[in-house]
Amino acid sequence: MIQKKTIAVLGMMCAGCAANVEKKLNTLEGIVSASINLPGRTALIEYDTERISLEQMKEALSGIGYDMVIEEDRNVEAIERQAYRALRNKVILSWCFALLVMAVSMGWILSAQSFETRNQIALIIALINLVYCGRQFYISACRQLMHGSANMDTLVALSTGISFIFSVFNTFWGNDFWGSRGIENHTYFDASVMIITFVLTGRLLEERAKQGTAGSIRSLMGLQPKTAHCINDDTLVDIPISAVQKGDLLEARPGEKIPVDGLMIGSDTVYIDESMMTGEAVPIEKEPGDKVLAGTIVKQGVLKMKAEVIGQKTVLANMIRMVQEAQGSKAPVQRIVDRVALIFVPTVVGLAIVTFLVWYLIGGQELLPQAILSAVSVLVIACPCAMGLATPTALMVGIGKAAEKSILIKDATALEELRHIDAMVVDKTGTITEPHPTGEQLKPHAAEAIDTLKQQGIEIYMMSGDKEERVATIAQQAHISHYQSQVLPQDKDNLVKKLQQEGHRVAMVGDGINDSQALATADVSIAMGRGTDVAMDVAQVTLMTTDLRRIPEAIRLSRKTVSMIHQNLFWAFIYNMVCIPLAAGLLHLFGYQWQITPMWASALMAFSSVSVVLNSLRLKLTKA
């Protein structure tokens, strides 16, 4: 049986990590597809349960240094909090070592000691820092090497290892070796320590920033109640939400969240706040037999209900699953970045070797220290992380922001495609008008939404099976020029195809029933409705409210999100294109005695990743 799941994966730190995990999963027999969401630390996996198990996937990832959380008793958020605290402690300690080794190397302390003695003390401090604070880089690099792959840890391990070993050589044999050739002897223990310190600091800041990108999905998950009041022989018993069974009688009091989807029973008047589903702020009056949804809040009266839909099948659980899967999906542009990430680290190692050889060929042994430092700077400053984070961080924020506005976007492709829409086919009944037969009545704000779509450059075409007179009246009220009456479902599909043949990018908006054929044909399909009536499994975009203004909001959000992705990718690529030559010492060819040192290279590398995440978070502050 084919199943799709979003599973947490621990240990991924950069785009290279994400590419390696994705590559490993996709080579396993039984996996249909796997895509990695680096900011969310999750894998969206579609697999055949009869050919491969989660345990086998976990074992495969464990072999290359990553952990898949498949155990129900393991709390991912608790694990991440613990890892964050451990990282923070390492950063603090690494800074202490960095400042101490710099003070010793520069002679700020122990100035009365000889150069050799200070170097030996710096060596001990640097070694402790490498072993304790930087151990993870070397372990990860070795595991990657054993499996023929590489990631950001490979670059850090190579650069710090080379600078440390070179400094050890200079500490014990440097005076004899370099002195006999008239070359001044230097050590670079401070550089090896500062590289690790800056990289760890960058990861700490990155983790803090990433928490903001996942804020929307955590808000949705926070809507899920933990317990339920179960009516048992006229007494109330509090039970875990996982223990609720279909058919159980439950009660929810004012201010409490409804535990599962079900039907209201009893005769009391109850008002429920369903704004998290519909976006409507006014509480809705419920009558016996009405549907009530998990996560919505009782505002007035005591709700007695019968459980109908439980566990991962509730509307709220489906919303969370859809947002998680959308955030884990990949936009088309990300596929290009993933291919770049796979070859990025080997390419950088090659550039570092070329840098070393060029400097050595120019100056021989006299420029050997310069050759080593230039190669180390190239290894450190190259950053696949910024490229890898550029797209998924913006997608996570954009899709999450949409969910907060009751707009559920099914995948990243739909989010990217929305910005290209220039024609929209809309159903009348249930979309432009209220769904009630005796109402045929225009929805509130429908005309305003249509006008906004026109201002966005989108031409509107209304289709209906209703009579010409009624359709013409609604079209006039909604400010729609193009409309057809007395059409069949096939006619809607034909119109979508005709517009596409004319070169238009077409969105279809309907209720997911008689519009399903046209929805499937359109470039982007949008389902209208509320609660359990929405066509979640059909449409790429689902509006959990009847407010048509959400459609132009979704298009604006699409344009801003994709614009943010392009900004991120531009700066990530420009960063590497500019900084790698500067780190290699290109300016020396033009007579400028300046280049980026390993220490500053590590600081710039850390800043590049953090800046991409922070730039994506600006989406949270913009109006959709």
Strand partners, 304: 251, 265
Residue environment code for 110-148, b if the CB has 16+ CB neighbours within 10 A, otherwise e: eeeeeeeebbbbbbebbbebbeebbebbbebbebbeeee
Q: Tokens 């018993």 label which residue? A: 237
Between CA 571 and CA 590 the distance in angstroms is 25
Which of 238, 304, 197 minimizes the C-alpha distance to 602? 197
**Residue tagged active-site, from 153, 190, 411, 427:** 427
Q: Give yes or no: 547 in active site.
A: no
> How far apart, in whole angstroms, are the C-alpha atoms of residue 240 and residue 65?
35
Would you give the distance in Å from CA 6 to the centre of its chain? 13
Which residue, among 484, 416, 478, 417, has the nearest Cα to 453 in the 3D structure? 478
Residue 229, both tokens = 């009041």
Question: Which two structure tokens, joined as six digits, stand for 487?
Answer: 């059409």
Angstrom distances, CA of residue 6 to CA of 261, 321, 328, 367, 395:
23, 8, 8, 52, 16
Distance CA 29, CA 432 (A): 48
How far apart are alpha carbons 248 and 267 in whole angstroms? 18
CB 593 within 8 A of CB 372: no
Q: Which of 2, 14, 11 is nearest to 64 (CA)?
A: 11
> Residues 192-225, buried b or exposed e (16+ Cβ, 10 A)?
bbbbbbbbbbbbbbbbebbebbbbbbeebbebbb
Q: Which long-range contacts (CB under 8 A, 24 or more apart) does 366-371 make?
A: 366/181, 366/183, 369/166, 369/183, 369/186, 370/585
Q: Which are the catalytic amino acids?
A: 427
